[in-house]
Structure 1
C-alpha cells in the first residue's frame, strides 16, 4: 500500500467513523472506474467496517481492497454476479437478518445500473431490510459531464440510458432505428470487441453527433465527438482506439431555437415541392435530424390537415 492510501484510510476514519452505520443493512458502494484515487472516504470506511463484502468477482475485489490496505479474508467475500444473483441475494438477506453489515461492490463504478446489483437491492427491500447507497464514480455521469451532450430548458432536455444494445446484428439495427426517433441524449455502453459493430450500426444516423468516451479516468482516457457516419473511420485511425470500455453518447437531435426548429422548417419547404419520402430524406441530410423523427412529424402534420404535408403525400402517390 502506498503512503497516500494509508493517509486516506486515516482520513476516512476521521471523516466517517462518527456517522451511524446500522447493522443488518446492505451498503451499495461505488468504486473507481479506473483511477484508484476516485474512491470516497465513506466507501473506504464502510469497506473496512463490513462483515461481508459481496462482489461480482472475488479475486478482482480482493486486489482492489489490498490496494487500499484493507484486509479481508476469502470467507468475508461473497460472489454475487449476473449468473447467481437471485440465489446469492437470499444468502445476503440471511446475513443481514443475522445483523451483519454487508457491502456490495461491482467490478467498477456504481452497482445496479449497468452492473449486477438491482436484484440484490430489490430482494433486500422485499425482506423489509435497509439498503444504503454510497455514491461515487460512474462511467455514465463521467462521460455526460465532459461531452456537453445534455440540453437544458429545451424539449431535448435530460438523457435516456439505453445501456448495451443487442449483440445480434439484426436486433441491434432494429434497436438503433427505434432510438433514432428519440430526440434527447442517449447513453449507450459497449465492450471493446463490439465497438466496431456498434459504430457501423450507428452510421445511418448520418450527421447526428456522437461522443465516444473510452478508458475514462485512466492514463489513456480519450473523449471524442464525431458525426455518426464518421465513427468507423475514427476508430480505424489508430490501433488503440478500439481498446477499453466505451460510453457512447448520442447527442440530442439538433434543432434551432425557433418553435418549429430548423429541420421542420426545411421539411415544410420541401414537402411543398417533393414527395413525402424524398422530402424527409433530403431534410434529414440537410439538417442532420433523424429521418424517422421527420417522417413521424410529416405524418402528424398530415393527420392534422396540414396542406404542405398533404401535398407531399399527393406527390408521394405519383412518385
Structure 2
C-alpha cells in the first residue's frame, strides 16, 4: 500500500511542475537544461555521499543516456505546450500517455495488443478531436503536449521493462545526464524554430532560481529515484494509469492559482472526460484480465529435468 501512496505523492508533484514552469520567466529549453543539470548534480552528490557503485554495463549506461534524451524531449514539448496554450490543455494532452503506452508496450514487451485497448484508444482520439475543435486557437499547444506524451510513453516502458532492474538513483543520474547533454545539443535547433533569440542562461531571476530548485530537486531527483524503485514492484502501465491523475491535480492547481485564465469552454471538459474515462475503464479491464489469468488452473508438470532460475 505504501508504494501507491508514494506514487500519488509523485504524481501530485508532477502536477505542480506545470505551475512552476509557468511561473519561470526563461524559455522552455533553458528550463529543461537547468532542471536536468541541477537534478544530475544533486543525484551525483547523493551517490557520492552514499558511496554507491555507479558502474553499470556499457549497454545499460547507453540505454539510460538515450532514455534521458527522451525525457529531455518530453519536458521540452510539455513546457512548450504550456507556453503555446493553457496549462489545462497541455496537461490533458499529456494524459494520453497511457494510450501510447498501450500501443508501445506490446511492441517492446512482445505481447499482443488487446481489443479493448484499441476501443478505448479510439475514445481517447475522439476526446482529442473534440478538444481540437473546442479550443482551435491552441492547436499548437495540444500538438506539443501529444508529442510530449509519446516521448513519455516510450521512456516509461523502457524504464519499466529494462532499467527498473538496477539501482534507481544510479539509473536516474545517467538519465538526467543524458537529458542535460541532449538539451545542449538541441540548443541551436530550439533557437531557430522556437526561441528566435540566443540562449542566455544568465537571464534567471531570484524567483526563477527558487522555482528551478523546487522543480529539479523535489519534482525530479527525489521523484524519479523513488519512481524507479516503485517500478520494481508495479507495472509500467499501472504507473502510467495512475499518472493520468496528473492533469486533474494540475488543472486544480492552475484554477486555484491562475483563476479564470484556466477556465475553458464546456466542450473542452467534454473532450477531457473522453480522454480520462478510458483511462479508468482500462484499469478495470486490466484488473479483470489479470484475475482471470491468475485463476486459471495450473497445468500438470511435464516430464524432464527440473530447472532453477537465478
- TM-score past 0.5 threshold: no
Query: Relative contact order (C-alpha < 8 Å, sep 6+): which is higher?
Result: 2
Choose between structure 1 and 2: higher strand proportion: 1
Larger Rg: 1
Choose between structure 1 and 2: higher helix proportion: 2
TM-score, structure 2 length as denominator?
0.23
